[in-house]
Structure 1
Amino acid sequence: MRSLCVFCGSSPGADPGYGRAAVATGKEMARRGLTLVYGGAKVGLMGLVADAALDAGGEVIGVLPEALSRKEIAHTGLTRLEVVGSMHERKARMAELSDGFIALPGGAGTLEEVFEIWTWGQLGFHGKPVGFLNIAGYYDGLARFLDHTVDQAFVKPVHRQMLTFADHPETLIDALAAYAPPVAEKWLERFEL
């Protein structure tokens, strides 16, 4: 594993622990020589994780849609900033540049990004690990809901197991580094297409 994509909030959130976790994640990635790939903004948890990685001597690649770049939220101190035409291009490029994915606390955009990446993994488009940094129980409710989707036969257990939850950056990165993708087919056989 050479690079990790971090999805996270453009806000710092209500709990100061979220910011501390973003900083710890950036530092830990730099310590391990992992390139940080992220959304390219200088605000919120996004800015904190990028600044921490840079301050620790790490490489940081930002991918930002042109419309957001024009709003002056682009982080201009990155190793490399790629400006793309759309949010779709942004996600595709971040996925292309990354060997794994971490979701720090965030809102709708963070959830949309990580769920799309998970879906791509379920469909066999990639075999890269996906994890949630569950700071202060932020993702506890989501983990329970995902278990519920398995109980209700909408998600296979093997696909639920593709998602890793951990409380500390070191633990999560270790788990992602040890990840082996499951061997399972999407259950299309249950449906006539």
Structure 2
Amino acid sequence: MKARVIAGIVLLIVAIILALFIAMAYFNPSFINNAGGSGNATGSSSCPDLQNQVNTLQSQIASLQSQLQNYQSQLQNYQNIVNLQDSQTIVNNYAINEPASQYYGIPFNAQYAGYVIVNVQSSTTTKTQVYIVENTNNAGQIVSQTYSIGSGGVVYFPVLPGQVTVYIGNSDFFNGASQTVTITYVY
């Protein structure tokens, strides 16, 4: 809908500019004098002027069409963001080796509100935990609940714009753990 409105506005502007140039050519005294027979009998002095105006208008139309395509592309990008259709892989099958009772943080910057999908798998512990800390642009610091996911699982966290750190933990008091992590930011 917005793309049609933008296209309509751009076409209206092109039509107004075109009408102004036609009016200028029509009411230009040298054009009228040449058309009336005074001056050059062939009227050739007005033809280059008209051709220059046509060339200028065609160039402006091409420029406006390019701008319209750019705006349509931007609009599509924003619609994808609003509809949570874009994503970014922060880490993919990232290997973590943690000592007992330790957490490993993976930071990234969230430009838009959305959510984070954290997928953790471990073959060495059944005491994997996940939580996030957000330092948002407007709401300060937000610390999520800690989720125990055993030897593996997927956790979804809503996020606001700002710095986000995903923490993967090993809550085993005695043994270290090896984990594989994939984090996807959807916005």
Q: Does TM-score exceed 0.5, indicating one fold?
A: no
More helix by share: 1
TM-score where L is the length of structure 1? 0.19
Larger relative contact order, structure 1 or 2 (CA cutoff 8 Å, min sep 6) = 2
TM-score where L is the length of structure 2? 0.19
Structure ID, larger Rg = 2
More strand by share: 2
